[in-house]
Structure 1
Amino acid sequence: MRHTWPSCLLLLSALPAFADTNTAIEMTDGELNHCLQSSVASAAESMTVADLKQACRLLHAEKISTTEIEEQTLAEAPQTPVLRKRMTLEALNRSNRFMLTPHKRNYFFPVSYTRHPNVAPYQDTDSKSLSDLSKTEADFQLSVKILIREDIFGDNGHLYMGYTNHSLWQVYSDSDSAPFRESNHQPELILSFTNDWEILGFRNALNEVMLNHQSNGQGGLLSRSWNRVMLNTVFERGNFAFSLTPWYRIPEPEQEYPGDPDGDDNPDISDYMGNFEFNGAYQHSDDIYSIMLRNNLDGDNKGALELAWSFPISANLRGQFKYFNGYGHSLIDYNTDMEVLALGIVFTDLF
């Protein structure tokens, strides 16, 4: 998982049974009954009445915590583990066919700066105008998923289809008409299993098997793509969560000539993108600190590091500062070591 926060950790859509515990914000009986009546039709079939009540109380707390509740009151209240909150709220609307659920982070960074843009791929192609890239560009991502089938194996095993688009936009370019220099498309099929095992104080909340395709939608010499079978396991403890996602790249035939559409566009991609991804996140107050690591587990230690800090700027939006260093910032840059600083807005965060 990506990119950015791995696809893995954000595929948290199934719900284990939870006790109807007290929450920080008390609802009136009328507010609770209204929420139950409006939510029951779209909630996951496995949700009990206690689960629905817990979800309604979480929604109520999220709605008013930034405007009506003092921070001291929230700090003194019992806390729900961060992943459990997200899983509960997603399950509340899992069966709603009119709703697309956020998958990975959805964001827009109007400022994404790299000191040495990668112009090499464009120099010998029809996209020579991109050989003079602006060091500052816009970076945005749209990521959603939808439930295909629920409870395949008794009361567990949920099948999803996910899609993520990550685009780099040369909006500040003086030499061209502000082109989108790269757009990566990532459809995937996800079989998700919730879990409640505890290991060394950590709860193994989720395990997944994913069939993942990633492509930049280009042809000829600019084409980049690969297919993977991915495993993902997610753990949480209080305000800390992490995921480990190893993968196997599905082999493709060699190209018979440069730009061969039937051959492998990037046979060495695993040397740079690695064989696994680790993601970790910690929530302190309203701030979320996260880390992503990729590595090829070879002697040259190629991979990537990403550090991010997100913070609230309004009831519905969060700001984020992000630092990336390594390979695979996008598919066109998969074999180029880059250092990127970005600042922008996150529409849906990790939790």
Structure 2
Amino acid sequence: MKSLTHFFLFTLFTAPTMALASPDDDYDACLLNAVKNQNGELTLNQIRTRCQKIVTHTDNTPKTPMVTQRLQNERETTFDPFVITPHRMNYFLPVTLTDSINRAAYAGSEWDNHLKNAEAEFQISFKTPLNYDDLLIDGDGLFLAFTLNSYWQVYAGDISRPFRETNYRPEMFYFAPTPWTPFGGNTWATIGIEHQSNGRTQGLSRSWNRIYSDFIFEKENFVFTLRPWWRIPEDKKKEPNSPTGDDNPDIEKYMGHFQVGAVYKWDDYEFSFIGRENFATHKGYGELGLTFPLWGKLRGYTKYSTGYGENLIDYNHKQQRIGVGIALTDLL
């Protein structure tokens, strides 16, 4: 697993340098094009000066910040009946490797001793607005969203390649810009309610309901988010296998009460981080991700995670995981 971790970190920090065009490359291309196509009226020094101005102007052209750009793009297509608006990332990782598959959760079942450390993972996430016009202030909105995240034991042929864990996450939230502009950036706030469940019964059932808020800050190519939540209390189970009652009363010990996130975009590469921590129990979760261009709308996606709570069945199980695949949509 250490060698895989080293490979991921090498890929994460060196992949952008393999294909990123530098200003020098742009300058050389401009010179070559000018020499090929000019009619002899310009001297070499004049061509150099003109190309330098073009490259400098391109580098200094202000770019729309990431969240602002995404909101603008979404507004243009939100009510198009043939467009599904993404919410979280949409991706497919045909290969993920974990150093500790959670066999304890399936003890006594036919899967117990046949689960593989290698499996596939995919996520589908979309949202739809509930309002056509502004509700309270300019640029606000009320949304319904749904996210499905699944772990598929596609390499476990001896147990018929089951979907080991699937999490369903419907939510409703209100989103609005704020007038606060720290460090010259832009901010937004969100408040919402969500249900998260794995749709299983008895011993494998996991679920919880939360009221959450989101604070989002953007500055040029950097975005930071802070997401605290409050778990809606549930009654205790009268019996261990009762269909009613709290499936996981200790989930906050592992999942904590908040999550932080960050995204940085460099050229056409997007780096992301997600982190959670319960400071009372010292249990948490961290995730690093990188998306990069492949072909057309397809983007490469690789991520590394460590800690507790990657999904609901593993909320109290610690592991490291590395995955490689494709993303249809970025975080931003």
Provide structure 1 residue ranges, at least 5 long, that are not aligned to the other structure.
Answer: 1-69
* Partner residue, 1:117: 101
Q: Which amino acid aligns with 1:162?
A: A
Q: TM-score, normalised by structure 2?
A: 0.80
Say if 2:174 and 2:192, in contact at 8 Å, map to a contact too.
Answer: yes
Report percent identity of matched pairs.
40
Paired residues of 2:145 and 2:172 also in contact (CA < 8 A): yes
Matches within 5 A, 1:166-245: 166-204=149-187, 206-245=188-227
Contact 1:312 1:318 (8 Å CA) reproduced: yes
Letter in 2 for 1:334: Y
TM-score (normalised: structure 1): 0.76
8 Å contact from structure 2 (residues 217, 224) kept in 1: yes
Structure 1 match to 2:124: 142
Q: CA 1:130 to 1:161, structure 2 compared with 1: closer, same or farther past 3 Å?
A: farther
Secondary structure of the corresponding residue to residue 74 of structure 2? helix
Distance 2:155 2:278 in 1: 34
**In 2, Cα distance between equivalents of 1:101 and 1:166:** 17
Question: What is the aligned counterpart of 1:269 among 251, 261, 277?
Answer: 251
Letter of the 2:290 counterpart: W
| Distance (whole Å) between structure 2 residues aligned to residue 234 and residue 285 of structure 1 | 22
- 1:244 and 1:130, CA in 2 relative to 1: closer, same or farther beyond 3 A? same
Paired residue total: 278
CA contact (8 A) 1:114 1:338 kept: yes
* Inter-partner Cα distance in structure 2 for 1:348 and 1:294: 23
- One-letter amino acid matched to 2:152: W
Structure 2 SS opposite 1:193: strand
Counterpart residue type for residue 97 of structure 2: Y
Structure 2 gaps of 5+ residues are 1-53
Q: CA deviation at 1:97?
A: 4.2
C-alpha distance in 2, partners of 1:78/1:257? Answer: 61
- Answer whether contact 1:275 1:297 (CA < 8 A) is retained: no
Amino acid at match of 2:289: A
Distance 1:232 1:154 in 2: 17
Among candidates 250, 254, 257, match of residue 232 of structure 2: 250
Larger of the two Rg values belongs to structure: 2
Partner residue in 2 for 1:162: 145
3-state SS, counterpart of residue 262 of structure 2: strand
Which letter maps to 2:277?
N
How much does 1:175 deviate? 2.2
After superposition, the C-alpha distances for 1:45-75 in whole angstroms (9 at most, x for unaligned) are: xxxxxxxxxxxxxxxxxxxxxxxxx999854
Superposition deviation, residue 155 in structure 1:
3.4
Deviation at 1:83, TM superposition (A): 1.3
On the 8 A contact 2:137/2:176 being kept in 1, the answer is no
Partner of 1:281: 263
Higher helix share: 2
Q: Deviations along 1:221-272, whole A, 9 cap, x unmatched?
A: 0000000000001000010001000000000000011121111000000100
Distance (Å, rounded) in 2 between the aligned partners of 1:273 and 1:100: 30
Moved more, 127-136 or 259-268: 127-136
Alignment partner, residue 47 of structure 2: none
Contact 2:271–2:289 (CA<8 Å) still a contact in 1? yes
**Letter matched to residue 316 of structure 2:** N
- CA offset at residue 154 of structure 1? 4.7
Amino acid at match of 1:319: G
